[in-house]
Amino acid sequence: MLTKPMTDALNEQIKHEINSAYLYLAMSMHCASAGLPGCASWLRIQWQEELGHAMKLADIVQDRGGKVILQAVDKPMTDFKSPLKIFQHVLAHEQKVTALINKLYEVALKENDYATQVGVQWFIKEQIEEEKNAQMIVEQLKMAGESGPPLMMLDRALGARKGG
């Protein structure tokens, strides 16, 4: 059975994951409108992954006898200057999520909740991958520049990402 502090922390993280999804969907729509279908596709897959993360956390709560209480989500930003700025924001956002996941793990430690610790370890590993991927895209966008063939080639490469 989950303690109240653990349930509250998990519900809070569910909100953050849904907020992340909403942000990535806004970024995807922006890229689609800006003629960058590959970036749009990559971000749409990210949107789906974040919703999956929220559901994985919800499953932890429900499997342990807790109650999922959904919270209001924030309106995502909609003013994006360039693909580089978007992915710099993605990287910063993923770093913020990593800090939130670490805090969630700290609650599990404090509550002596070993089962939740195991579940949250998956998210810790996932965040390593999320930050690595975002950093790589930022570096590639810096090399590609703001327009022209290199950006189009990178956009095409990002569009090759498969969900799942």
68 vs 63: CA distance, rounded Å: 11
Q: CB–CB of 49/126 below 8 Å? A: no
Instruction: With a cut of 90, say whether residue 40 has pLDDT above it.
Output: yes
Architecture of the domain delimited by 4-159:
Up-down Bundle (1.20)
Residues 106-132 have a mean pLDDT of 97
Residues 69-73 have a mean pLDDT of 96
Q: Any idea what DSSP says for residue 66?
A: -
Residues 74-92 have a mean pLDDT of 94
Backbone angles phi, psi at 66, to 5 degrees: -90, 175
Residue 22 burial (CB < 10 Å; 0-12/13-18/19+)?
middle
What per-residue confidence (pLDDT) applies to 161?
85
Position 136, amino acid:
M
Q: Give just the sign of the alpha carbon dihedral 113, 118, 123, 127.
A: positive
* Whole-prediction pTM: 0.94
Instruction: With a cut of 80, say whether residue 27 has pLDDT above it.
Output: yes
Per domain, the residue ranges of the chain are 4-159
Residues 91-111 have a mean pLDDT of 98
pLDDT digits (tens, 9 = 90+) for 125-154: 999 999 999 999 999 999 998 889 999 999
pLDDT, averaged across the chain? 96
Both tokens assigned to 69: 């209480």
Task: Give 46-53's long-range contacts (Cβ < 8 A, gap of 24+).
Answer: 46/90, 47/21, 47/22, 48/21, 48/163, 49/163, 50/17, 50/18, 50/20, 50/21, 50/24, 51/17, 51/18, 51/21, 53/17, 53/20, 53/123, 53/126
Instruction: With a cut of 80, say whether residue 63 has pLDDT above it.
Output: yes
Of the candidates 90, 84, 91, 88, the residue with the CA atom closest to the CA atom of residue 146: 84
